[in-house]
Amino acid sequence: MSEHVSDDELLRELEETEHEDVKMSLPTDDQKTKVSTKKKNRKYRFDSLDQQNPYRSQSKLDLDDEYDNGFRVIETSVLINLLQKELTVNELKIFLYILHKTRGFSNEKNRFCNWHRYIPVAEIVSELGMARTTVSRTLKTLREKQMIYTFKHTKYNVDLTGLNYRFDTWK
């Protein structure tokens, strides 16, 4: 008869296993000579962190290159509240697109976090393949739910859009 393992014990065991994987993922000297300077200086190789992924061999992606293309920062509490919120698919897509445009880090275009940014409706239409009326209506709904905000840039007279990270005010 197999012994029952609690969730806490299983999580501890998995965490220990993950640390072993990370140790195995340190680049060797031979690997360092084959990668860019940016990657050489990195302590870990992200591309080797998913050794147990059964789809790894089917992929042509180098996760180090994907990491270098940038990443997004979203606070855990905001993410959890976003997941608990009942949103339409379009609301979620546009919210995540605004996250991408305002909280993008570590790439050539977005070196720093922007709390708000000029995001033309035409850009969202083009990038997400949505109808202009759908985008406009969804932006209005997200503003009504107080999940995003807009304000006029005084110098350029354009609307800037930002995410409301104060999720306790979301409707």
Convert the pLDDT of each residue in 127-163 to its tens digit: 999 999 999 999 999 999 999 998 888 877 888 888 8
Beta strands 148-152 and 159-163, pairing class: antiparallel
pLDDT at residue 108, as a whole number: 52
The structure tokens listed for 132 are 């202009």
160 by DSSP, 3-state: which? strand
Domains of the chain: 7-69 (no CATH), 76-169 (1.10.10.10)
Q: pLDDT, tens digit, for every residue of 51-102?
A: 788 888 898 887 777 766 667 778 889 899 999 999 999 999 999 999 888 8
Rg of the chain on CA atoms, in Å:
21
